[in-house]
Structure 1
Amino acid sequence: MAAPHLPAGYTAHPIDPAADRPRLQALAAACRTVLDPDATADPDALDAVLKRDGLDPAADVVLVRAPGGDLAAWAWTDRRTAVAVHPGHRGRGLGAALLDWTERRARERGDSLLTQTVDDRDPAAVALLQTHGYRPRATNWLLEIPLDDTELPPPPAGVTVRPFHPDDAHAVHRLSDAAFGDWQERSKPFEEWAAFHLHRESFAPDRSPLALVDGRVVGAALSLVRPGSTDGYVETLAVDREFRHRGIARHLLRYSFAACRRAGLAHGTLWTHSGTGALDLYLKIGMTVRRATSVVGKDLTTP
C-alpha cells in the first residue's frame, strides 16, 4: 500500500499499538476538547478499532508525524473509516491527504462503500467530507437525562431483571445481532462483538441489566464507565422483537441509570442512531438531545 501524499515535512508511519497508544490518546484528547472542553476519554477506543474483524493494522492504519516528531494525525479504514488531525496541524492539507489515502486503500481492499462519523459541531470537517464526495446517510444523537432518587418500579409482568454475568455473553450477542440486523452494516462475529462490548476495561456489568422471560434473555442494556465523567453511559440497548412494546427497554434503562445514580453520577446518557427508530422512545421518557453527529458515506463503485 502506497503512503499518503503528505505536505512537506510530514511523514507516514505504521502503527505500533503499545508504543503509540499514549500518543494516540493525547491526539484524541486534543481533537475532543477543541469541540467540547468538558468531554471525557474513551480509554478503550483504540483497542476497539484494532480488533475490528478484517482490519489489518499493518496495512489499514497509518500515523503521520510532524517535522519535530510529534504525532500530527492518524487514519484507519475497514469499510468504516476515520481520520483525525491534531488541532495544531489543521489547515495544512493533512485531512485531505488522509481521506485520499483511506479511499485508495479501501479500493485495494475491494470495499464498495466507505462510511465515517463526523461531529456536527465541526463545520470544517463536514465541508471537507462533502468536498470529497461523502453524502449524509444517518444521524446519531447523544441523549441525556438528570438522575434522581426516584424508586425503581418493578419490571413488566413475567419479566425477570438481573445484572449481566459472563455466562450470558453468547446469548446477549445473539440478541444484539438480531435486534440490530435491519440497519447495522454487517453481522459481527462473536469475538469482535465481545471485544467492543464486553472485553473492555470500561465495561460495567453491575450497571448492565438483562431481561429474561422463562430463562431466555430477551433484553439487555450494556453500560460503560467513563473515567472522569459525571455521566452514566448505556452503550447498547437491545430488546428481542417478540417482546417489544412491553416496557422492557424503559425498565432496563431505569435499572442502569439507578445503578449510575447510586455510584454518584449526575446524568444518564446514551447514543441512538436514526436507523433504529428509537429516538421517540427516549424522548418520551424524558431524555433530551445533548448533541448530534452525522454518518456520511461515499460510494466507491463509481470512478
Structure 2
Amino acid sequence: MRSLKGFGAALTALAMALPMGGCAGGQSELPAETLPTSISLPAGFRPEGIAIGPGPFAFIGSMADGSIYRADLRTGRGEIFSRGPGTPSLGLKTDTQGRLFVAGGTGGDARVVDTRTGEVLASYRLATGPSFVNDLTFTQGAAWFTDSTAPVLYKLPLRDRELPVAAERIPLTGDLVYGDGFNANGITPTPDGQGLLVVQSNTGALFRVDFSGATRRVDLHGESLPEGDGMLLHGRTLLVVQNRLNVVAVLRLNEAGTEGRVERRVGDPQFDVPATMATFESRLYLPNARFTTTQTPDTPYNAVAIPLPAPLS
C-alpha cells in the first residue's frame, strides 16, 4: 500500500498459503502472451490495491473515493462496478466465495463486496481514531489487516464461510516499533502458514508476526526493503513491491519466515510507482499509483503486466 503509503496448478503452494484464494486468477481463453500489458484506468482514479479472480478479472481500488474498477484481463477493458464510500480502497483480496475484501485506509474500516454485483455485503469499523488500514491477507480461517499508523492488526474470523459480526483487534508487540511515516504495510502468511509476514515501509524491515501479535524481525542478512508495499508469497519465494523505487524484490525465505535473502530486484520501464500486485497466468499485474506525480482529476492512470519473476518456489 501507499508509503507516506491474485497461478492454476503451478500455484498450489500459493493457494495453500492463501486458502481463501485472494491473489491467484483462473485460466484464460487466450495465451498469456496475447493478453494486454497495460490496462487504462479512469482519469483521476488514483489506483492502489489489486486482486485477481475468480476468472480473468482484476479488481482495482481507488484511493480517491474508494470505487472498485473491474477489468477483463483478456481485453484490457473494464468499468467501475462498485461505487466507493468517499474514503480510500487500498489492499484488496478475493476469496473462493466470490467476495472481495477491501482495506479502507484513512476511513479506518473494511468492507466486503460481491464480485458479481458490486453490492457491499458487510462493513466493519476497525478504528475510531487516526488510522490507515492498509493491506490484508487470508490465513488460518481469517482475514488479517494492517494499520500503518497504529501498532495493531485487525482480524476478521471467517468460520463456516460466514462473515463475522465484528473484527478483533490484536496489538503488536516485540521488535516492530512504530515511528514517523508509514509503518506496517504489506502482509502475507509465512511459508509454513504458522504466522504472518509484515513489511514496515519507513524502515524497510520485515517482521514475522505470531497470531497473538508478537513480532520478530526477519534476518535479511544486511538487506532491507525501504518503501516496501504489497507482498506476494509463492512457496518460499516472497515478492515485495518497493513502490517509489520502482522495483519488485525477490526474496528466498526459510519455512518459518524468520530468515531470508534478497536474491534480485526486478524493474520495468512501465513502472510509475507501483503499489501492489496480483498474478494471472504467467504475469504479474501492478497498478501504477504514481505517488510522485501531482494528483489532479485529469491525471491518467493504468495497471501494467510484466512476466513473473522466475523461478518461483
TM-score range, shorter chain: under 0.3
Whichever structure has more helix as a proportion of its residues is 1
- The answer to which structure, 1 or 2, has the higher relative contact order (CA under 8 A, 6+ apart) is 1
Which of these two proteins has the greater Rg computed from alpha carbons?
1
